[in-house]
Amino acid sequence: MEVLRELGYLDQERPLYRAFRVEEMLRFGKRLNPNWDAVAAHGYLSELGIPGDAKVGKLSIGQQAQVAMAMCLAKRPALLLLDEPLAALDPVAREGLMHLLLGSVADGHTTVLLSSHAIADLATVCDYIIILSASRVLVADDLDYVLASHRLLVGSREGALEVPSGSLSCEDFQRTPDRAARPRRTARDRSVLAVVEPTLEEIVLAYLREQSAVTDARVGESVEGQQR
């Protein structure tokens, strides 16, 4: 029971009582949570422009997500678990929700574990990133290091291309922990490849594509072995 007092949880279903008014939801949260911060809860919703007398079921999906997030934060948890909290939200609602989250945890007293497919949003809020595929950890490191230690090669796929040994090849993408990939042009390949810094989304997609290709190859080998 002591652990639950220090734990906040929010998923994409946003578990709220739709028949309740917003103020009733806040009173409900206060009765269940000993560490409830009523001033903070009302402050969050006032900042978002969500009236206390509004019925939860009449709010937009984005506003319902903001109410649910405000309730999680008003609990003052030591650990906040967020499972796809941005799912089905439009860009404005996503921005509002992330603004609320960042503003409330800036004091550093709450650790947030956020699971999301909205990769672009993660780059602005996360310190540490874990990339998962089929329950396998592909990357687990500081976000700044992940961004700094990868390069994207942009250019023609035609012609010979030498890739530094030990790089992770994902189509035109190369992972080089200590240096940028330096492709060597041959006499037949006169195009110049640009080496640019990738976005987090490009890095994640490259790893997922690579893992998918490996999985498909293993499945193909297994099928071929069974046929023999």
Task: Check which CATH number belongs to the domain holding 65 and give it.
Answer: 3.40.50.300
Q: How far apart are CA 114 and CA 210, in angstroms?
A: 24
Specify the pairing of strand 150-154 against strand 7-11: unpaired
DSSP three-state, residue 93? helix
Same domain, yes or no, for 7 and 108?
A: yes
Number of domains in the chain: 2
Same domain, 137 and 180: yes
| pLDDT number for residue 172 | 38
**How many residues are listed for the chain in this entry?**
228
Q: Do 122 and 194 fall into the same domain?
A: no
Q: Are residues 113 and 15 part of one domain? A: yes
pLDDT of residue 1: 62
Last residue of a domain, one of 103, 126, 149: 126
- Shared domain for 113 and 26, answered yes or no, is yes
Q: Of 94, 126, 158, which marks where a domain is finished?
A: 126
6 vs 57: CA distance, rounded Å: 28
Residue 186 has a pLDDT of 44
Q: Is 108 in the same domain as 26?
A: yes
Spatial CB neighbours of 206, under 8 Å, sequence gap ≥ 6: 150, 168, 170, 171, 173, 175, 198
Same domain, 68 and 89: yes
The whole-angstrom separation of Cα 221 and Cα 109 is: 50
CA atoms within 13 A on the CB side of 117: 7
Can you tell me the distance from the alpha carbon of 211 to that of 205, in angstroms, rounded to the nearest whole number? 10
- Domain around 168: 133-227
User: What pLDDT, on a 0 to 100 scale, did the predictor assign at position 122?
Assistant: 81
CB contact at 8 A, 169 and 151: no
Q: Is 108 left (phi over 0), alpha (psi -120 to 50) or beta?
A: left
Q: What angle do CA 181, 185, 191 make, to 5 degrees?
A: 100
Block means of pLDDT (10 residues each) for the chain, 228 residues, are 82 88 95 91 89 94 90 90 84 82 76 86 85 88 90 60 39 39 44 74 86 67 56
Residue 208: predicted pLDDT: 86
On whether both 26 and 118 belong to a single domain, the answer is yes
> What pLDDT is stored for residue 108 in this prediction?
64
Residue finishing a domain among 61, 93, 126 = 126
Confirm if 18 and 55 have CB atoms less than 8 A apart: yes
**Residue 145 and residue 119 share a domain:** no
Q: Is residue 114 located within the same domain as residue 6? A: yes
Q: At 144, list the tokens.
A: 């700044």
Query: 189 and 81 in one domain?
Result: no
In DSSP notation, 31-43 reads HH-TT--HHHHHH
User: Do residues 193 and 98 both lie within one domain?
Assistant: no
Nearest to 165 by CA among 143, 182, 145: 182
DSSP calls for 170-186: ETTEEE-SSS---PPP-
